[in-house]
Amino acid sequence: MGKRKENSTNLHNEKAIVGRCDLTYAVCMIGGRWKLLILCKLENGKLRFSELRDKINGITERMLTLQLRELEKEGLVKRTVYAEVPPRVDYELTKIATELLPIWGQLSNWGAKHRKFMKNQL
């Protein structure tokens, strides 16, 4: 997002953990505040910047841009720019990102179950 400081313990720890653990690596990849939401919106096909912005309640253009840029770097979304005026850009999931979908389904089910479970604890 902003650039990170080289030589911080923080960065060092993160690298050490992510470097060893594929699970943490995978989870870090989708760890930003809005990333999962963005990816979910793209499940059914391409969307342009403004469509994403309008579908995601509360996100600012800055945040949308930042998270899309990261997702792009990570190879999870593909960005296509059309040479038009006014500009048009669209985003879609990459192949490897779509392979996450079934896993998300399961995680999501688990989440729903956990949520109910916690409610009953009150």
Partner DNA sequence: TATGGTACTAACAAATTTGTAAGTTATGGG
Partner DNA sequence: CCCATAACTTACAAATTTGTTAGTACCATA
Maximum Cα interatomic distance, the chain, rounded to a whole number of Å:
56
Counting contacts by CB under 7 A, is residue 109 touching DNA? Answer: no
- Kindly give the pairing relationship between strand 77-82 and strand 47-48: unpaired
Cα–Cα–Cα angle for 49, 55, 58, rounded to 5 degrees: 95
Structure tokens at 70: 């990261």
Q: State which residue, 88 or 114, has the beta carbon closest to a copy of itself.
A: 114
Counting contacts by CB under 7 A, is residue 8 touching DNA? Answer: yes
Instruction: In angstroms, give the least distance from the CB of 102 to DNA.
Output: 25
Is 62 within 8 Å of 55 (Cβ atoms)?
Answer: no
User: Coil, helix or strand for 78?
Assistant: strand
Distance separating alpha carbons of residues 80 and 46, to the nearest angstrom: 10
Q: State which residue, 83 or 116, has the beta carbon closest to a copy of itself.
A: 116
Q: State which residue, 89 or 103, has the beta carbon closest to a copy of itself.
A: 103
Instruction: In angstroms, give the least distance from the CB of 87 to a copy of itself.
Output: 26
In the shown chain, the binding pattern of residues 54 to 73 toward DNA, with x for contact by CB under 7 A and - for none, equals ----xxxxxx-xx-xx----
Counting contacts by CB under 7 A, is residue 80 touching DNA? Answer: no
Task: Provide the total of helices (H) and of strands (E) in the chain, helices listed first.
Answer: 7, 3
Residues near DNA (CB under 7 A) are 1-2, 4-5, 8-11, 13-14, 32-34, 48-50, 58-63, 65-66, 68-69, 79, 81, 85-90
